[in-house]
Amino acid sequence: MTMPNDTMSHSSSPSIPPSPALPERTAADQGGETGARAQITDVKNQVVDQARQSFRQARDSAGASLNDSRQQAAERISGLANAVRGTSERLRSEQQDKVADLADGLADQVERLGTYLRDRNFSDFRRDAESFARRQPVVAVGIALGLGLLGARFLKSGQAGRPQ
């Protein structure tokens, strides 16, 4: 079946050559694809580099914050050792030498802990804790349990003053 406008369109329009089904790819087209892939790869590498840099900055910032906290804890522990020493001196002045000796021993141990925290970093602390837990697993579990109970008590006491 022929359409009436079909014959007229062929006669009034210039002849258009039939287009091939799939045009042949030229070297320029393939080079464009390679260039696009290279651009995508470059963008991906830039994003990965930025993510790595952000991660390093966050890790360094967290490390600096932990280091500050460690130094503050070491100072507080040293202050506690000085307070125990003061108590020991008062006990000696009251002629309670045996109890004063115990307080001196406690002050020395607390001072050692403060020095340990001041002189070591967290990776050393973690490594020492792991080593201790491997040598003394029962004691490590007992310490963890005690710290958990103290933490729970601390949290519970913080909630006692709040109205419900």
37-55 pLDDT, tens digit per residue, is 888 998 989 999 998 998 8
The pLDDT value recorded for residue 106 is: 92
The pLDDT value recorded for residue 112 is: 93
What are the boundaries of each domain within the chain? 122-154
Q: What span, in angstroms and rounded, lies between the C-alpha atoms of 42 and 76? A: 51
The pLDDT value recorded for residue 35 is: 79
**Tens place of pLDDT for every residue, the chain, 164 residues?**
455 554 444 444 445 555 445 455 554 455 567 778 888 998 989 999 998 998 888 888 887 888 888 889 889 999 999 999 999 999 999 999 999 999 999 999 999 989 988 888 878 888 999 999 999 999 999 999 998 999 898 888 877 656 55
The pLDDT value recorded for residue 89 is: 93
Q: What span, in angstroms and rounded, lies between the C-alpha atoms of 23 and 26? A: 9
Residue 5, CB half-sphere, CA atoms under 13 Å: how many?
A: 0
The pLDDT value recorded for residue 7 is: 46
Q: What span, in angstroms and rounded, lies between the C-alpha atoms of 104 and 117? A: 20
